[in-house]
């Protein structure tokens, strides 16, 4: 088997020594080329080269969700073709690793490598769906390049939190759950649209959902993790269906306390609920419009401000080793 290992040297939970051990373990089972990323977008470029080469059977991403997102965008640059594209394997090396954990992999890099090698020996894989977000035709954002995401996207409040976390990390702060929670509080205190949302969700053949403050798009469940605790924004979301959406139309102090508590207590059976909650399941295509520019995030990566984004759920987009 010919494999490409894409290594993010800045992965927060793996040391150089651990990465060397993992590379050695993988190389003992396959013809392996290991490449260390050197710039933002490098993992995407490597994934695209692997897809276009025609001689790579497997691409292994060693890093966090951002590295995985880049690799996936490279592999799917020309569109989904599961039977022709290299398969994907993920060794978690980030602080949260939502995609890898949603696939059922251990959160420890060494254990996950062992699980991947076992899966390869047994021929165990699954074909998963992905989401893609693009600029909406006829709007000022129509020229924005399309981008794939593996587990979640968001327009509005949660994307603002992601942007704040990225700013703190650029200042040298470590990515911790406490850092995220502090930025949630700061985003809430400074959120100008928390009582009167600016987002409208439109989908073909359905009445629009208006005045949303928060909109979270899920391609799988759970939405994220707080330590070892899974958080379910859209419990029914799955790699085998379309996209799910959680929307909130009110973010007063009382509402945030209620829905925040529901999120922390969420389970595979029940997520946030109430009169200000919109929960939609298994959508193939929909558009989020905003009256004002709002932050957009995908897989925990802040992508700037948008006023209109069209989302598409693509079933059976990529083969993954599990």
Report the pLDDT value the prediction gives residue 265, as an integer from 0 to 100: 95
CA distance linking residue 14 with residue 35, whole number of Å: 16
Determine how many CB atoms are found less than 10 A away from the CB of residue 264: 10
The values of phi and psi at residue 247, to 5°, are -125, 145
pTM: 0.93
Helix 109-122 vs helix 16-27: crossing angle, to nearest 10: 10
Token pair in block for residue 34:
């290991």
Q: Is 3 helix (H, G, I), strand (E, B) or coil?
A: strand
Partners of 242 in beta bridges: none
CA distance linking residue 147 with residue 126, whole number of Å: 22
205 CB-near residues (< 8 Å, 6+ apart) = none
Alpha-helix residue ranges (DSSP H) falling in the chain: 16-27, 42-53, 65-75, 98-102, 109-122, 157-170, 177-190, 253-264
Token pair in block for residue 156:
């509005």
Dihedral of CA atoms 273, 275, 276, 282 in degrees, nearest 10, equals: 50
Token pair in block for residue 294:
């709002």
Report the pLDDT value the prediction gives residue 68, as an integer from 0 to 100: 98
CA 209 to chain centre: 24
8 Å CB contact between 299 and 99: yes
3-state DSSP percent of the chain in helix, strand and coil, to 5: 30, 35, 35
User: 83 burial class (0-12, 13-18, 19+ CB within 10 angstroms)?
Assistant: exposed
Residue-by-residue pLDDT tens, the chain, 322 positions:
999 999 999 888 888 899 999 999 999 999 999 999 999 999 999 999 999 999 999 999 999 999 999 999 999 999 999 999 999 999 999 988 999 999 999 999 999 999 999 999 999 999 999 999 999 999 999 999 999 999 999 998 888 888 887 778 778 787 676 777 787 777 777 776 666 789 999 999 999 999 999 999 999 999 999 888 999 999 999 999 999 999 999 888 888 889 989 999 999 999 999 999 999 999 999 999 999 999 999 999 999 999 999 999 999 999 999 9
Report the pLDDT value the prediction gives residue 195, as an integer from 0 to 100: 66
CA distance linking residue 217 with residue 311, whole number of Å: 9
């Amino acid at each position: 088997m010919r494999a490409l290992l894409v290594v993010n040297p800045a992965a927060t939970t793996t040391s150089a020594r651990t990465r060397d051990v993992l590379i050695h373990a993988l190389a003992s089972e396959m013809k392996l080329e290991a490449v260390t990323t050197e710039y933002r977008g490098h993992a995407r470029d490597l994934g695209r080269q692997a897809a276009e080469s025609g001689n790579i059977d497997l691409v292994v991403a060693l890093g966090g969700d951002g590295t995985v997102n880049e690799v996936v965008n490279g592999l799917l640059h020309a569109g989904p073709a599961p039977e022709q594209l290299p398969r994907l394997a993920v060794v978690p090396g980030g602080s949260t690793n939502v995609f890898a954990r949603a696939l059922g992999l251990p959160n420890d890099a060494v254990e996950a490598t062992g699980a991947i090698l076992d899966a390869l020996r047994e021929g165990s894989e699954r074909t998963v769906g992905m989401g893609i977000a693009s600029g909406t035709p006829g709007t000022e954002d129509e020229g924005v390049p399309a981008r794939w995401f593996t587990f979640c996207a968001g327009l509005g409040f949660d994307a603002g939190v992601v942007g704040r976390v990225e700013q703190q990390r650029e200042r040298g702060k470590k990515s911790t759950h406490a850092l995220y929670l502090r930025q949630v509080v700061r985003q809430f205190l400074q959120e100008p649209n928390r009582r009167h949302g600016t987002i409208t969700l439109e989908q073909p053949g359905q009445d629009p959902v208006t005045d949303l403050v928060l909109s979270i798009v899920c391609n799988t469940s759970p939405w994220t993790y707080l330590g070892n605790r899974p958080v379910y924004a859209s419990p029914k979301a799955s790699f085998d269906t379309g996209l799910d959406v959680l929307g909130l139309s009110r973010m007063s102090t009382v509402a945030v306390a209620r829905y925040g508590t529901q999120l922390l207590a969420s389970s595979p059976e029940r997520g946030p609920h109430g009169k200000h909650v919109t929960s939609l399941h298994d959508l193939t295509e929909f558009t989020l419009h905003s009256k004002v520019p709002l932050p957009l995030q995908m897989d925990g990566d802040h992508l700037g401000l948008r006023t209109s984004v069209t989302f598409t759920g693509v079933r059976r987009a990529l083969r993954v080793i599990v």
